[in-house]
Structure formats: structure tokens, C-alpha cells
Amino acid sequence: MCGIVGIAGQHDREWVHRMNTVITHRGPDDHGEYRSPEGLVSLAMRRLSIIDLQSGHQPMSNADGSIWIVFNGEIFNAPEIRPGLERSGHRFVTSNSDTEVLLHLYEEKGPAALEDLNGMFAFVIHDKKRNVLFGARDRMGIKPLYCSKTNGRFAFASELKSLLTLPFIEREIDHQSLFHYMTLLYVPDEASIIKNVHRIPPGHQFTYDLNTQKLAVEKYWQLRFETAGRRQHGHENRHEPQLRCFHARYANRARALARLHQSVGRGAVIPRCHRQGPERGAWFRDAKRRLPTRNARHRRRRRRVDP
């Protein structure tokens, strides 16, 4: 878990520092701040180091400093994307930072880079050449991203509490959101409990034009269901998409943890991991043996209760 914050428009440097400080719990390993030369854009982040533990400091820039990024999340297919960017002439400074891969992918493709990403993410980029802030949230909305546009300023943050530290955002309850919360026990769609503070919806991107001060939010992904007639081989391949996602999710974890469900894990994931190679299959078999069975957990509870 990491956290990102930022402001565009006239602001004090202390505002961004305060926004970043209140989310220290999201990233105890590292923190950083960036302020544009003209002082109109500031980015900051708190980092929990998972990939590229030694480097990967943020905010991060490209070679000429024309693009700066703050990024929360993980790009699962970054190792597959990086070789293509290197062949295109991009030079990497870090050993395996997925943040740097995302940075160069945006430099190469612009907003179309989102089509290539597989992961969970929320990021914001200051593109000096286009003079915009560009950001996006992952398809399922795993990583949060709040924003507010008011009084000629635009601010964003991973948590609502960061935005509430800003003097130009009033702590006024949105009554429609309060009604939804009291009815549904959550606030739906892109609204928040605070008036004039919104969430970037899952699968959406935004562009904030620093010249016109206009904010545009667009959908870049739509869930599509596969029809029965397009399926191939039925039962044999029904677990393969799950397996690919599982491999991508855990391939580069610094502290891998297997919490496999009794039926799904043993019946689908572990046998298919073995097909990928003996080394990977052995790792998952060992993880399975380390998991306590239902009977073992029951016996431990009995020992705690019985005199």
C-alpha cells in the first residue's frame, strides 16, 4: 500500500507536505515531493517498498524531466513490457521498477498506454509538454483516487483525509451522499461524503488542462462478457485465465504469501502451477503443506478450550 497526493494551481509548499504527512501509514519506507519550477504543480507520495526495494524513489521523472509521475499500485506485466521499450530506445535507470516502466510507456504511447497495463494502480502524471495532469485508476478500482476541483485549483489524493487538510476545501457534508450511506451503508458511484470531492471511477482516466483549468474524465475500459459460443475446450481451459492472473500477481512479490482456498487452490491453482515447471510447482506444493488443514485448526481450538 502506497499513497499519492498533489495540487495544481496557486498553493503553498506546506499544503502538499501536510497532505503527504497524514497518509504516512500508507508508506513508511520512503517519501518524496516534487514541485514544478513555476510552482503551479506539486506531487508527493508515501511508499511501501514491494518491487525494486533499493531504488524506485518517487516522484520519478523521465530523462529530460518533461514527465513526472506518482504511482500507487503494481503493474503485474511490467517485466513483459520493459524489453519492448528498451528495443524502442528507452533507457532505464532502475533494475526492475514498475513505476519506471509505466513512466516510459506513457512517454512512448501517451494515454493509450493504459491498454497495455495489467495490474492494480492509481497514478497521476505531470506532462509538461502537453501542460496537463493525466491520471487513471485500475479497471476494478482496487486503488483509490479522490479529487477536487474548486477555486481555480485541482487536488488529488489516495485518501479523503489528505484533501481535508487543504484550506480551499470546505468540510461540508454532501446530503445526497449521506442519504445513500444511511440507506446502502456506502456511497455509490464517484461521489464522496464531502461536497465537491469526488472519486475517479474504476476503469476511468482524467486529464486536467493547466491552461484552461478544465477537467475531463473518460472511461477507458468496459467489462465485456464472453458468449458461450466463443468458448473453446470448455472445462479444460476454464481455470487458465485465473492461473495467468495468479502468476502475474505473485511473480515479483518481495514477501510471497500463499493463502489458497481448499477447493480452488488445491483443485485448480497448484496442479496448473506444476505444469509451468517443477520449481514453481514445488514452491506452491510446499506452501500448501504449510497451510493448516481444517481439522488441525479445530484441534488447536480444542486444546485452547479444554482444560
Residues 62, 78: Cα–Cα separation, whole Å: 17
Measured distance CA(21)–CA(175) in Å, rounded: 29
Beta carbons of 229 and 218 less than 8 angstroms apart: no
262 conformational bin, left if phi > 0, alpha if psi -120 to 50, beta if neither:
alpha
CB count within 10 Å of CB 243 equals: 17
**Element (DSSP H or E) covering residue 52:** none
- Write out the catalytic residue numbers: 2
State the amino acid at position 276 in one-letter form: Q
Task: Label residue 204 exposed, middle or buried (CB < 10 Å: 0-12, 13-18, 19+).
Answer: buried
Question: What does the block give as the cell for 175?
Answer: 446530503
Determine the Cα–Cα distance for residues 289 and 26; give it in Å rounded to an integer. 32
Long-range residue pairs from 301-305, CB within 8 A, at least 24 positions apart, any chain: none
Angle made by CA atoms 110, 116, 119, in degrees to the nearest 5: 115
Which residue's C-alpha cell is 500500500? 1
Let me know how long the chain is: 307
